[in-house]
Amino acid sequence: MSELMKNKIIVVMGVANERSIAWGIAQSLHKQGAKLIFTYRKERSFEKLKSLLEKEDVKPLLTVACDVLDDQSLEQAFSTIKEEVGTIHGVVHSVAFADKDELKGEYVDTSREGYLLAQNSSAFSLVAVAREAKKCMDQGGSIVTQTYIGSVRVVKNYNVMGVAKAALEANVRYLAEDLGKYGIRVNAVSAGPIRTLAAKGVSGFNQIMSKIEENAPLRKNVDQGEVGDATMFLLSDLSRGVTGDIIHVDAGYHIMG
Ligand code: NDP
Ligand code: KAL
């Protein structure tokens, strides 16, 4: 077994259950010898996380609560990480939220409140996380977030989240420029659709998946393992020349006209 992530300590944010993309990433990192710290928001996610860690025999350095909408919670989480662990080498930001009511119908009907909540949770949160994480990244490092093609194309029902992902991708570029001088890289993975808790109950999901099976160059959908391995690459030294970029892990779907 190769150990691409040996001696690296990575913070993973956004495991809600066994289907979470963040859990796929955690498994890829674990396989390569990384030491992991997890953050969660809801108590229910914490319970799921604990049982997953036990089941897969992953021993985290730390698990800590962190609500990305709350500055105090963010500060507290990363100061606990600094006190208990010290230097970290990477962060996985796998967090997004929009009100269910905003993820259907016409985008033009988006409420101010719904717009701000999606931006706050899904785009500004990367800035806030980067600012706190930087305090623990005194040897440089890598920050990776998760985006979706609805940022650059109009995808039915994705609505307010598409606009939030566009902002998230711009955040990746601005943060990459700021943090590059400290040896910290910032990138995103743009994943194809994966059936997770966040995707549950939103209409049109099945149709999108069949369209990809028919039209993507690889004629298949991707899974958490494929996104996990690409994210691991961006967190590893193999990608040391890459920053401010978006890597598509979507079976090639985004190249199609
Ligand atoms: P999950 O539902 O598994 O994960 C979403 C996570 O976001 C949960 O762990 C949730 O934690 C967390 N979260 C939401 N709001 C907050 C908050 N205020 N503070 C802290 N955590 C928060 O879904 P996915 O794995 O699918 O989503 C992960 C990322 O991947 C998202 O950015 C999503 O947009 C992106 N993505 C997903 C795709 C897909 O098809 N599934 C495709 C492309 C991108 P909690 O429940 O504890 O609040
Ligand atoms: C076009 C697609 C179909 C789906 C449309 C919108 C999906 C938006 C993603 C967004 C993250 C979903 C939510 O925020 C759901 C939320 O309102 C209700 N769910 C929850 O609260 C659960 C319990 C928690 C865990 O969820 C969160 N977010 O915390 C897009 C598809 C094809 C691809 C997807 C799913 C992209 C993506 O960004 O997730």
Q: Give residues with Cβ within 8 angstroms of 190, minimum separation 6.
A: 147, 148, 149, 151, 246, 247, 248, 249, 250, 254
Asked whether residue 64 is assigned to any structural domain, the reply reads yes
pLDDT at 1 over 80: no
For residue range 230-256, list pLDDT tens digits in order.
999 999 999 999 999 999 999 999 999
Instruction: Report yes or no for ipTM above 0.95.
Output: yes
Q: What does pTM read for this prediction? A: 0.98
Structural domains counted in the chain: 1
pLDDT at 188 over 70: yes
Our answer on whether the CB atom of 199 is closer than 6 Å to any ligand 1 atom is yes
122 is in which domain, residue-wise?
A: 9-250
Catalytic positions, written as ranges? 148, 158
- Pick the residue whose CA is nearest to atom 32 on ligand 2: 193
**Which residue of 18, 95, 124, 151 sits with most ligand 1 atoms within 8 Å of its CB, as the best mutation to test the pocket?**
95
**Which residue of 205, 211, 246, 249 sits with most ligand 2 atoms within 8 Å of its CB, as the best mutation to test the pocket?**
205
How distant is the alpha carbon of residue 71 from its chain centre? 19
Asked whether residue 255 is assigned to any structural domain, the reply reads no
Closest listed ligand to the CA of 14:
1
Closest listed ligand to the CA of 107:
2
CATH code, domain carrying 27: 3.40.50.720
Our answer on whether the CB atom of 93 is closer than 6 Å to any ligand 1 atom is no
For residue range 38-58, list pLDDT tens digits in order.
999 999 999 999 999 999 999
Asked whether residue 70 is assigned to any structural domain, the reply reads yes
